[in-house]
């Protein structure tokens, strides 16, 4: 299944009241929202979600940030969803992101970069399973 990906509207974007604009950008870009909800991660949950980065120098700062406030988590559907969503959000560092991408439009820094996107279909499935139960995936 390569038509599903997982997205997070991160705490910086929710705090800056960009949730609606980003949600609209998602729909305008041709994604169907299978499920979406507001959540707030504990530090422990953020550490588990980003376990693949636990050896990186930014792990502590990243998990502090991701547990600092509300996020919107979304399961998204589109053909070639993982790559399409990565293209829609732009480069990790908003300074390198292309014009018109979500990170270019709504992110301020490398750390607080507005949105998350899965890097593979396999990880998308795992990440969706982290936040959603089967009955929520409509
Ligand atoms: N990040 C950071 N400093 C870095 C690299 C990444 O703070 O030098 C943060 C940033 O929020 C990024 C997240 O860690 O979105 C995960 O990093 P990754 O390399 O997986 O980037 P992404 O897949 O989110 O583009
Ligand atoms: Mg990544």
Structure tokens at 25: 């950008």
Strand partners, 116: 8
Threshold 0.95, pTM exceeds: yes
Nearest ligand 1 atom, CA 116: 24
Model pLDDT, residue 42: 98
Model pLDDT, residue 2: 84
The distance in angstroms from the start CA to the end CA of the chain is 16
Query: Which residues of the chain have a pLDDT value below 70?
Result: 1
With the most atoms of ligand 1 within 8 angstroms of its CB, the residue from 111, 120, 127 to mutate is: 111
């Amino acid at each position: 299944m390569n038509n599903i990906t997982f997205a997070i509207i991160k705490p910086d974007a929710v705090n800056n009241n960009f949730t609606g604009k980003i949600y609209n950008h998602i729909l305008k870009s041709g994604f169907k929202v299978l499920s979406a909800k507001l959540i707030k991660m504990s530090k422990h949950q953020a550490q588990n979600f980003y376990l693949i980065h636990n050896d990186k120098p930014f792990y502590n700062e990243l998990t502090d940030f991701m547990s600092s406030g509300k996020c919107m988590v979304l399961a998204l559907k589109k053909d070639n969803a993982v790559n399409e969503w990565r293209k829609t959000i732009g480069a990790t560092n908003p300074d390198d992101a292309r014009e018109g991408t979500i990170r270019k439009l709504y992110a301020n820094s490398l750390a607080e970069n507005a949105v998350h996107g899965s890097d593979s279909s396999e990880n998308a499935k795992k990440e969706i399973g982290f936040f959603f139960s089967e009955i929520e995936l409509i």
